[in-house]
Amino acid sequence: MLDSLVKYLEVNLELIKLDTKETAVRIIAKMMKAIVMMILGAFTLLFISLAFAFYLDTVLGSAFYGFFVVGLLYLLLFVIFWLFRKKIATKIQESIDVEIPIKLEFGDDK
Render pLDDT for 38-73 as a digit per residue (tens, 0 to 9): 999 999 999 999 999 999 999 999 989 999 999 999
Amino acid found at 79:
V
What is the DSSP code (8-state) at residue 11?
H
Coil, strand or helix at 23? helix
Q: How many residues does the chain have?
A: 110
85-99 vs 63-83: helix axis angle to the nearest 10?
70
Mean pLDDT (the chain, rounded): 87
The pLDDT value recorded for residue 110 is 45
φ, ψ of residue 103 to 5 degrees: the values are -105, 125
Q: What percent of the chain has pLDDT over 90?
A: 53
Q: Is the pLDDT of residue 103 over 90?
A: no
